[in-house]
Amino acid sequence: MEEMTMKNPIVRMFHVHKRYGAKKALVDITLDIGFNEWIFVTGPSGAGKSTLLRLMYRGESVSEGQILVDGANLLRVTSRQVPMLRRKFGVIFQDFKLIPTKTAYENVSLVLEVAGEKPAMIRKKVNSVLRNAGMEDKMNNYPPSLSGGEQQRVAVARAIVGDPKIILADEPTGSLDSKSAGIIMDLLKGFHARGATIVIATHDKELIESTTHRIIHLDNGRVDETDPNVVNL
Ligand SMILES: Nc1ncnc2c1ncn2[C@@H]1O[C@H](COP(=O)(O)OP(=O)(O)OP(=O)(O)O)[C@@H](O)[C@H]1O
Ligand SMILES: [Mg+2]
C-alpha cells in the first residue's frame, strides 16, 4: 500500500510493546500519525486505547520499541525535557482530571501560567476558550459543582488553550448527551481546522460510524492488521 505511506508523520511508533507485569497491554504496534491528521482509535474495553495515548506524551514509558514525536525520540527525552514535550500535547483524560479545588477558569489558566504567558494574554485566551466551550457563565464554579458534560467541556478548553500541536482525547464524548458531545466535537473540529493533529480514543459508535477519518482498531493490545486503514511502513 505505497500510496498510504505517510510522508510527514508527527507521531511514529515502531514495534511498541507495553506490559504491566505479565499483562500485555500493547503488542508490536507500528503506526504513523500524520501532521494535521484526525484519527480515531477504537476497540473494546481493555484493548489498550488509553495506554496507547499515554505512551505518546510519555505519561508512561514503552516496554519495548520506539516512539518519535515531532522528530524527538521519546527514549532520549530526559526528565528535564518532559515538560517541553508535554506542551506539544493537549490531553483530554477519560476521567477529566480537573483539579477540584480550582475553579473552571483556574483549571484552564494554569496551563498558560506554567508556560510563563503574560497575565493579560492569559485572561484573553482563557475567556475566549471557555466562551467557545459554552462555559462563560460557569467559569468560577468548582468542578464538583459542574455536570459531567460541563467538566468535559472545561477539560477540552484546558487541552486546547495552550495551542498544542497534538490533541489526545480519551473518550471525549463518553457518557455525554448529544448536545454536549456536539459542542465538544465542534471545538475539536475548529482546532483541527487551524492545523492541530487530533487523536481520539473512543468506542462511541455514533462518532466513528459516518466518519471519513482514519480508524485504528485495537483488540487485545494489537492493531487489527486486516484493517485497510492501517498505514504500512
Ligand atoms: N497501570 C496499569 N497496571 C496494570 N494493568 C494496566 C494498567 N493500565 C492498563 N492496564 C491493563 O492494560 C489493558 C489495556 O488498558 P487500557 O486502559 O489501555 O484499555 P482501554 O482500551 O483504554 O479500555 P477502556 O475502553 O475501558 O477505557 C487492560 O487490560 C488494563 O487492565
Ligand atoms: Mg481507556
User: Over the stretch 156-195, which tens digit does the pLDDT of each residue have?
Assistant: 999 999 999 999 999 998 868 888 888 899 999 999 999 9
Which three cell numbers mark 228?
485497510
Question: What pLDDT, on the 0 to 100 scale, is given for residue 4?
Answer: 54
The pLDDT value given to residue 218: 96
pLDDT in the model for residue 105: 98
- Cα-trace Rg, the chain: 18
142 versus 226: the higher-pLDDT residue is 142
Probe target for ligand 1 pocket from 42, 50, 95, with the most ligand atoms within 8 Å of CB: 50
Give the residue-averaged pLDDT of 99-117. Answer: 96
Tell me which of 47-51, 80-84, 228-232 is least confident.
228-232
The pLDDT of residue 103: 98
Per-residue pLDDT averaged across 87-92, rounded? Answer: 95
Rounded distance from Cα 52 to ligand 1 centre (Å)? 10
Which ligand 1 atom is the nearest neighbour of the CA of 44?
25
Q: What is the mean pLDDT of the chain?
A: 92
> Measuring from each residue's beta carbon to the nearest atom of ligand 1, which residues come in under 6 Å?
20, 23, 25, 43, 45-51, 94, 203
Measured in Å, residue 168 CA sits from the centre of ligand 2 at 12
Q: What is the value of pTM for the model shown?
A: 0.92
Mean pLDDT to the nearest integer, 80-106: 94
Compute, in angstroms, the gap from residue 150 CA to the centroid of ligand 1: 26
C-alpha dihedral over 158, 162, 164, 168, to 10 degrees? -10
Q: 48 alpha carbon to ligand 1 midpoint, in Å?
A: 6
